[in-house]
Structure 1
């Protein structure tokens, strides 16, 4: 049986429900920014700014999907020793 690394509370992932809620919130914020860009493109129509806002509205969904799908990548930079017996406590059988 292979031993896996211990999970520390600093690197534990969020629950699936919290992760989904967080992804949905990031996507909703990104799509709100896209809507604002579309409205700004219409309002600023005769100027070159309308093209900037229109381009932003076209490319925001790409970034929104990437941001929404970005998983929880917690890492505290701490790694356990590679030697399995290093710092391992042995069981005391109670006989002294």
Structure 2
């Protein structure tokens, strides 16, 4: 049996290119970049807290320590956030989509056969 070009495989609906997910490698690379950025900010907060404590800036170091404590959680949540694209509606040209309107000649031939 010949395959029909453009037919879906095993009943799967076609995917729009605008809603297709990025490749796994690109997704992992983007997650790693977000994680590294968050952890770099955490490191800067911790080092800043040490210098603020040594400089006797008593209002700044607790804020920086709090940020250094919270940022790992934020970094993990951001790194695990999946980038899924989707528009939440079915394609109109799916098997259950919009019916086609037939031309006048086709309609007349179909209804005047009997």
Q: TM-score range by the shorter chain?
A: 0.7 to 0.9
1:25 match = 33
Q: Is residue 3 of structure 1 aligned with residue 11 of structure 2?
A: yes
Q: How many equivalent residue pairs?
A: 88
RCO higher in 1 or 2 (8 Å CA, sep ≥ 6)? 1
Deviation at 1:88, TM superposition (A): 6.1
Distance across 2 between alignment mates of 1:88 and 1:7: 20
TM-score normalised to structure 2 length? 0.66
Q: Is residue 42 of structure 1 aligned with residue 53 of structure 2?
A: no
* Gap regions ≥5 residues in structure 2: 1-8, 101-114
Q: RMSD of the TM alignment (CA)?
A: 2.3
Flag the structure with higher helix content. Answer: 2
2:63 match = 52
Q: Flag the 1:79–1:4 CA change in 2: closer, same or farther, 3 A.
A: same
Pick the structure with greater CA Rg: 2
TM-score normalised to structure 1 length? 0.77
Moved over 6 A (4+): none
